[in-house]
Amino acid sequence: MLDFINPAMRKWLGIALLVIVADHLTKFWVSSML
């Protein structure tokens, strides 16, 4: 199973994780500013 996660997959997973975290932080920041 771990062999399936090659460097390319790991890069895309990292990007997806960053997008999700940034989205949550943006929503939290906007709600705290209002």
Over 1-34, what HEC string results? CHHHCCHHHHHHHHHHHHHHHHHHHHHHHHHHHC
Task: Quote the distance between the C-alpha of residue 1 and its chain's center.
Answer: 21
CA distance 26 to 2: 32
pLDDT of residue 9: 87
- Quick one: average pLDDT of 6-13? 88
- Quick one: average pLDDT of 23-31? 95
Is the whole model's pTM more than 0.75, yes or no?
no
Whether 6 shows a pLDDT value over 70: the answer reads yes
